[in-house]
Amino acid sequence: MNKKKQSAALLAAEIIIRTVFFITMPAAFASGFLAVKLIFTAIGAGEPLNIDSMWVLIGLVGFTIIFGRFFCGFVCAFGTLGDAVYSVSGFIQKKIFRRSKQLSIPEKPTVILQKIKYAVLFTIVILCSLFNDDNYRIIPTTIHPGGKIGLHTQNSGDDLNYILSGTGKAYCDGIEETLKPGVMHICPKGSEHTIINTGENDLVMLTIVAAK
């Protein structure tokens, strides 16, 4: 088999494998991300890591050590969708705009961005670990649809909740506040409040408790 036929056969096999995973396991990548999220949530809350919630991540890491970036390249539905969109973009550029080469980020900036990615991840871990004591805590918080943080008095300190995604309602000392991305709900120390997810998606927020 010549190189051209071999490349075509490998491409066909890749498409088949990706399609099978895309149809049968579309949420596989979400399980991996959830495990990472649970780790950061535990670090931010100053709680011990729960090994039971990390088996999926451990399995993915072990699989990657042996087989390389197979998960990102074949199993991850999001990666498959991204590559498909990029391929369509390349086809349009070549056939319609007559470009000889598809637009892409040069190799050197790509390498630099990859290193920055890990630096940012490391910084987040450090910040979550440092800003967690009796006077100051940062806690990633998620409330599922229909769920809520029950009515309680904020005794530990001022409670600041920055909404990252989702929608909901907050009630602080009886005053209603609509929650959406970009909103900061503040409950002063000594006040009584509750937060309710009124939307169809998770209400994700960054909770900061600053003791006085």
Q: Does any domain span residue 201?
A: yes
Cross-strand pairs, 192 = 153
Q: Are residues 158 and 86 in the same domain?
A: no
Q: Does any domain span residue 112?
A: no
Contact 29, 78 (CB under 8 A): yes
Q: Are residues 160 and 95 in the same domain?
A: no
Q: Which of 104, 124, 157 is the last residue of a domain?
A: 104
pLDDT per residue over 53-105, tens digit each?
566 667 777 777 777 777 777 777 777 778 888 888 888 888 887 777 777 77
Q: Are residues 92 and 141 in the same domain?
A: no
Q: Are residues 96 and 141 in the same domain?
A: no
Report residue 104 as tokens.
């892409």
Q: What is the Cα–Cα distance from 73 to 75, expressed in whole angstroms?
A: 6
Q: Does any domain span residue 125?
A: no
pLDDT per residue over 189-207, tens digit each?
889 999 999 999 889 888 8
Q: pTM above the 0.85 mark?
A: no
Domain extent, residue 58, equals: 3-104
Say how many domains are in the chain.
Answer: 2
